Chains A and B, each alone.
Chain A
Amino acid sequence: MTTTRQETDVIAPPAPGRWRLFGVFAIASLVVAQVVAVVISPPDRDMGHLQKIMYVHFPIALNMFVCYLVVLIGSVRYLMLRSERADLLAASAAEVGAVMTGLTLALGMLWAKPTWGVWWAWDPRLTSTLVLFLLATAYLALRAFVDDPERRATWSATVGILGALNVPIVYMSVRWWRTLHQVQSSPSSLDPEYVIGVRLNLTAVLLVTVYLIHSRYAAALTERAAENRAMAAALGANHGG
Chain B
Amino acid sequence: MTEQVSAPRRKLPVLVSSGAALVVALLGWLIYGGLDKNIVYFLEPHELLARGTDAVDSPVRLGGLVRPGSVDWNESARALRFDITDTTQSVIRVVSTGQPPQMFRDGQGVVVEGRLGRDSVFAASTLIIKHTNEYRAPKAGEHPREAYKTLFKGAGP
Number of interface residues of B (CB under 8 A): 44
**How far, in whole Å, are A41 and B144 apart by their CA atoms in the complex?**
13
**B30 at interface by CB-CB < 8 Å:** yes
**A18 at interface by CB-CB < 8 Å:** no
Residues of B within 8 A of A158 (CB): 15-16, 19
Q: Are B39 and A190 in contact (CB under 8 A)?
A: no
Q: Are A182 and B135 in contact (CB under 8 A)?
A: no
Q: Are A43 and B144 in contact (CB under 8 A)?
A: yes
Q: Are B137 and A193 in contact (CB under 8 A)?
A: yes
**B20 at interface by CB-CB < 8 Å:** yes
Segment 1-46 of B: residues with Cβ below 8 Å from A: 1-2, 5, 8, 12, 15-16, 19-20, 23, 27, 30-31, 35-36, 39-42
Q: Are B138 and A43 in contact (CB under 8 A)?
A: yes
**B128 at interface by CB-CB < 8 Å:** yes
Residues of A within 8 A of B20 (CB): 161
**A116 at interface by CB-CB < 8 Å:** yes
Residues 119-157 of chain B: 1 if any A CB is under 8 Å from the residue's CB, otherwise 0?
000000011111111111111001011000000000000
**How far, in whole Å, are A76 and B9 apart by their CA atoms in the complex?**
14
Number of interface residues of A (CB under 8 A): 45
Q: Are A185 and B134 in contact (CB under 8 A)?
A: yes
**B101 at interface by CB-CB < 8 Å:** yes
Q: Are A46 and B30 in contact (CB under 8 A)?
A: no
Q: Which of A86-94, A96-104, A173-181, A211-219 contacts B (4 or more CB under 8 A)?
A: A173-181
Residues of B within 8 A of A116 (CB): 101, 128-131
**How far, in whole Å, are A165 and B16 apart by their CA atoms in the complex?**
14
**B74 at interface by CB-CB < 8 Å:** no
Q: Are B39 and A189 in contact (CB under 8 A)?
A: no
**A134 at interface by CB-CB < 8 Å:** no
Residues of A within 8 A of B41 (CB): 121-124, 177-180
Which one of A48, A118, A179, A189 lies within 8 Å of B134 (CB-CB)? A189
CB within 8 Å of B: which residues of A? 1-2, 41-48, 51, 54, 79, 114-118, 121-124, 151, 154, 158, 161-162, 165, 168-169, 176-180, 182-186, 189-191, 193-194
Q: List 12 A-B contacts (CB under 8 A).
A: A2-B5, A41-B137, A42-B138, A48-B102, A116-B101, A124-B41, A178-B63, A182-B131, A185-B133, A185-B134, A186-B133, A189-B133
16 more CB-based (< 8 A) A-B contacts, given A42-B138, A48-B145, A177-B40? A42-B137, A45-B138, A45-B144, A46-B131, A79-B12, A115-B103, A116-B101, A121-B41, A122-B41, A124-B39, A154-B8, A158-B16, A169-B27, A178-B41, A180-B42, A186-B133
